[in-house]
Amino acid sequence: MARPVLVTGGAGFVGSHAAKALAAAGYLPVVFDNLEHGNRWAVRWGPLEEGDILDAARLEAVMRRWRPEAVLHFAGLISVGESVEKPDLYYRSNVQGSLNLVEAMRAAGVGRVVFSSTAAVYGATDTVPIPESAPLQPVNPYGAGKAMVEAILADCGVAYGIRSVSLRYFNAAGADPDGETGEAHDPETHLIPLALDALAGRRGALTLYGEDYDTPDGTCERDYIHVTDLADAHVKALDYMVRPDARVTDAFNLGTGTGYTVRQVLNAIGRVAGKQVPFRIGPRRPGDPARLVADPTRARAMLGWTPGHSDIETIVRTALAWISRSKAA
C-alpha cells in the first residue's frame, strides 16, 4: 500500500504539484486544505480532508485517522503586500497554524516535516548569490513569520526530536508539463501569469515597478524555479531526512543560481508567445531588493536535486499552456 503523507495546503499551486510528485514516488498524498485559496479540482492524487490548520482539533483528528509517516507543510498565506497591511492575520495563520501542526504531529507520533519556506527570510540582502548561511533579516511580516516557523522547528528538533527541512523557495513559476495542475491564485500577484493575462488582453498593461535598479537593464532581477522542480525537491527532502548523515533540522535554497530581470522575463514571453507583453513603468515598490538569486549548491549536493525544467523558456511555455487551457474552459 502507498505510504500516507499529509500535505497541508495541498490544493494550492506548489502543494498540488508536490502531491503529484509524491504519488509518482509511491506515497499517498492526503491533502489537508480549507479551500479558501486552494482548489478542489487540484486534489487529484489522493484524498481530500477539508480543514483549517487553525482548527487544532480537526488537524489532530485527521492526523490520528491517517497516521502519516511525514508532513509536507504548505498551508498559509502568501502575499507580501497583504502581510504588511494585516500582520496579525499572517502571524495567526502562518505561525499559530504551524504550532498547531507541530502539536498534532507530536500527538500522533509523526516525526518528519518538510516546510515550505521562502527567500523572503533573507530580506533585502546585498549578498548575491545568497547562501543558506546568510543572515535572516526579513523586511515584512510574511518573511518574518516564515523565519519564526523555521526557528520553532529547530527548537522542536532539539526538544522533541522532530526532524525538519525548510525549503527556501525563490520565485516559483511555470506549471505541470502534463497540464494536470497549475497556478490559479485569486488575486494573482506573480509576474509571469500577470504578464500572460496582459498579453491576452484579460487585464491592462503590466506595471514594471522601477527601472533604475543596479541590474543589467534597471529592472529587478529574480531567480525563477519551475514548480515541478520544487515538487521534486520535497520528495528528495523526505528521503534525505531518514539518512544517517542528515541533520535533525536543515534548510536549503531552491533556485537555479541564475537571475532574470523583469524585462528579460518579458522578452522570453515574447519569444515563446510570438508577441510582446504591453507594459508601463511605475515607481519602485518599498522593500523590493534589486537582486535575489539563490546559491543552490547545498540542495544539489545534499539532496541530489538538480532542476530539470527551470530554463526560462520552459517556465514560460508551461505557464502559457496552462493559462491558455484553464482560462478557455
Q: Do residues 259 and 193 lie in contact, with contact meaning Cβ atoms separated by under 8 Å?
A: no
How is domain 3-173+225-254 classified at the architecture level of CATH? 3-Layer(aba) Sandwich (3.40)
Q: Please, what is the Cα angle at 224 between 38 and 233, to 5 degrees?
A: 65
Q: Compute, in degrees rounded to 10, the torsion defined by CA atoms 297, 221, 126, 76.
A: -70
Give domain limits for the chain: 3-173+225-254, 191-223+257-328
Nearest to 28 by CA among 68, 74, 61: 68
Cα distances from 221 to residues 213, 214, 216, in angstroms, run 9, 9, 9
Q: Do residues 122 and 137 lie in contact, with contact meaning Cβ atoms separated by under 8 Å?
A: yes
Residue 94 and residue 142: Cα distance in Å, rounded?
Answer: 8
Residue 196 and residue 37: Cα distance in Å, rounded?
Answer: 21
CATH topology of 3-173+225-254 equal to that of 191-223+257-328?
Answer: no
Provide the grid cell at 327: 482560462
* Helices 191-199, 312-328: crossing angle, 10 deg rounding: 60
Nearest to 45 by CA among 210, 181, 191: 181
Q: Which residue among 90, 91, 122, 142 is the active-site one? A: 142
Is 142 labeled as catalytic in the residue annotation? yes
Q: What is the CA radius of gyration of the chain?
A: 19
The whole-angstrom distance between residue 248's C-alpha and the CA centroid of its chain comes to: 22
Fold of 191-223+257-328: UDP-galactose 4-epimerase; domain 1 (3.90.25)
Q: What is the pLDDT along the chain (329 residues), one digit of tens a residue?
A: 789 999 999 999 999 999 999 999 999 999 999 999 999 999 999 999 999 999 999 999 999 999 999 999 999 999 888 999 999 999 999 999 999 999 999 999 999 999 999 999 999 888 999 999 999 999 999 999 999 999 999 999 999 999 999 999 999 999 999 999 999 887 888 999 999 999 999 999 999 999 999 999 999 999 999 999 999 999 999 999 999 999 999 999 999 999 999 999 999 999 999 999 999 999 998 778 889 999 999 999 999 999 999 999 999 999 999 999 887 65
Identify the burial level of 246 via C-beta atoms within 10 angstroms of its C-beta, where 0-12 means exposed, 13-18 middle and 19 or more buried.
middle
Sheet (strand 291-292) strand order? 260-261, 221-222, 291-292
Provide the grid cell at 74: 504548505
